[in-house]
Structure 1
Amino acid sequence: MTTPYQQQAPYQPQGGPAAAYSSPIPVRDAHLGDALASEWTKIRSVRSTMWTLGVMIVLMVGLGVLSAVVVSAADADLEGQSVLSLGFFGVLLGSICVITLGVLTIASEYGTGMIRTTLTACPSRARVLTAKAVVFFLLVFTLTTVITAIVGGLQTLIVDQGSSTGEDWFRATVGIALYVATLGLLSLAVGTLIRHSAGAITVMIGVVLLPLVLAMFMFSESLRDLQQALFEYSIPNQIGVLYDTAVTESGPAGWDPLWIMLGVTAVALAGAYASLNARDV
């Protein structure tokens, strides 16, 4: 009879060595695919994803269709602009939801302490951040592309003005989706650096809205150049450029806003990787 917690001796045949135990469960090294599966499970199972993306869909579809109905009812002239440009306001407000989800994708784990479990299961911090970035980007890009295409189709049916070229459609769907998803990645990087949900969300909302608000209240002639730069490179104006409805005639044009956002996000992500590897959780 054995005492409690006493380990049984391994089976040893008479006159032979002890038999080694071999687990029937296959053992292999973890890889990026495992981290991607883990992050996909987390992002689709938390309520914040459903609420933020749900509100984004309501804003984009609701404001896009409402703008088209108002223009059609008032028989307003779009002055040569594509009807797809009516989706601007929905995308601008919907991007706030994407920013919020981007921050919460990692900052919420710091708030709850779940980040310790995540990094215990996957000690490679770079792999964890890469998996979060890939899953988040693909989710937002796919959803935004589908929604902008649906909204554009509805606007075309409601407003019987002009025609939109293939390039207009591509920029108003794929281009906008790439820009919004990249803006979300910037939020993910800021959330990694700040590690506080409310603080990171506040910073990102300031990044989106503050330059435009500051420019509107710069009345001094000496600040004219700064005011112009803030107008040109503000995120609302960059989204407007992709819709061909820019506030200013100078500044970014064509696909420039996307390259600018990609450059800024790449720098922020590099800082996020360095910070995540250097800091203790």
Structure 2
Amino acid sequence: MTTPYQQQAPGAPLGTYTSPIPVRPASFGDALASEWTKIRSVRSTMWTLGVLIVLVLGIGMLAAVAVNASDSNMGDTPLLALGFYGVLLGSICVITLGVLTIASEYGTGMIRTTLTACPSRARILAAKAVVFFLLSFVILALCTGLVAMLQMGMVDAAEQPTGSELFKATVGVSLFVSTLGLLSLAVGALVRHSAGAITVMIGVVLLPLVLGLFMFAPSLESVRDALFEYSIPSQLAVFYGSSVSDSGPTGWSPLLILGAVTAAALGGAFAVLNSRDV
């Protein structure tokens, strides 16, 4: 006697087994669903995003309260620049999550299961990048938008920001920081070690400023200015209407520069994933 799961399909050779469950090739949508399940089910995501929200909202609100309570004149400082410090500190959380999205699987050995379920390494990296970028962008856009609205309502500034300035300080900032997190994901894929990749990315953010501070020689003035102008904090400040000099990146140039660097890093990560063993 055979069970329904042991019955042969009509016309099939004797002794063969045909599953009653429909079988179809895995798609990119399946990879996206898998990565979304993983990123929302681990505690590191909740902790890093929770701290990100606290930093962006908390520091942005504290800055607005401090300025409003002191009745100080902001002068030429843009009103929305009060949210800069919270986003700068929050970017460390985005960097950490970007690295952990892929490097933690190498640390736990989960990457072997992932590659067994989906042998296409390019598809896995692309799915991780899409899920992480969209998640971080949505969280950042909501937080920066809320902070901007609260600051505009609390602080009595001489000039209210225009629609273009508001767009850059919310959507532009969110795109920039999310792209920075995507660069962290690529570095995590290259290094395959969580602590090492996070250290590399913190160095990318802070090292240019630290090096520039110790370049006192007149012959190094041009190098010092370039380090200041193209450091991550200085490029982030451009979206708030601030800049360390008139010769540095302006407008949307910081996003284009970071996007080009991130694309190159992701290309390297794709090449390395396909050429080396787990």
TM-score, normalised via structure 1 length: 0.93
Alignment check: 8 A CA contact 1:82 1:168 kept: no
TM-score, normalised via structure 2 length: 0.94
Aligned residue for 1:211?
Answer: 208
Match of 1:59 among 42, 50, 55: 55
Match of 2:152 among 146, 156, 164: 156
The percentage of aligned residue pairs carrying the same residue is 68
Q: Distance in 2 between matches of 1:173 and 1:11?
A: 60
1:172 counterpart letter in structure 2: A
Q: Distance in 2 between matches of 1:21 and 1:113?
A: 33
Alignment check: 8 A CA contact 1:11 1:19 kept: no
Instruction: Specify every segment of 5 or more residues in structure 2 that has no aligned partner in the other structure, as ranges.
Output: 1-5
Q: Distance in 2 between matches of 1:268 and 1:78?
A: 40
Query: How much is the aligned-residue C-alpha RMSD, in angstroms?
Result: 1.4
Q: Distance in 2 between matches of 1:201 and 1:194?
A: 10
For these two proteins, the number of residue pairs brought into alignment is: 268
Instruction: Check 1:256–1:58 CA distance in 2 against 1; reply closer, same or farther (3 A cut).
Output: same
Q: Distance in 2 between matches of 1:82 and 1:149?
A: 16
Match of 1:138 among 131, 134, 139: 134
The structure with the larger Rg is 1
Alignment check: 8 A CA contact 2:7 2:17 kept: no
1:97 aligns with 2:102: no
Structure 1's consecutive aligned runs of 4 or more residues displaced over 6 angstroms after TM superposition are none
Match of 2:164 among 142, 145, 167: 167
Secondary structure at the aligned position of 1:251 is classed as coil
1:224 aligns with 2:226: no
Alignment check: 8 A CA contact 2:99 2:194 kept: yes
Aligned residue for 2:183?
Answer: 186
Aligned residue for 2:242?
Answer: 245
Structure 1 residue 19 displacement after superposition: 6.8
Structure 1 residue 23 displacement after superposition: 1.6
Q: Distance in 2 between matches of 1:11 and 1:167?
A: 66
Instruction: Check 1:11–1:183 CA distance in 2 against 1; reply closer, same or farther (3 A cut).
Output: closer
Structure 1 residues 244-253 or 146-155, which shifts more?
A: 244-253
Q: Distance in 2 between matches of 1:48 and 1:73?
A: 37
Structure 1 residue 20 displacement after superposition: 4.9
Match of 2:261 among 243, 264, 272: 264
Instruction: Specify every segment of 5 or more residues in structure 1 that has no aligned partner in the other structure, as ranges.
Output: 1-9
2:271 counterpart letter in structure 1: A
2:71 counterpart letter in structure 1: D
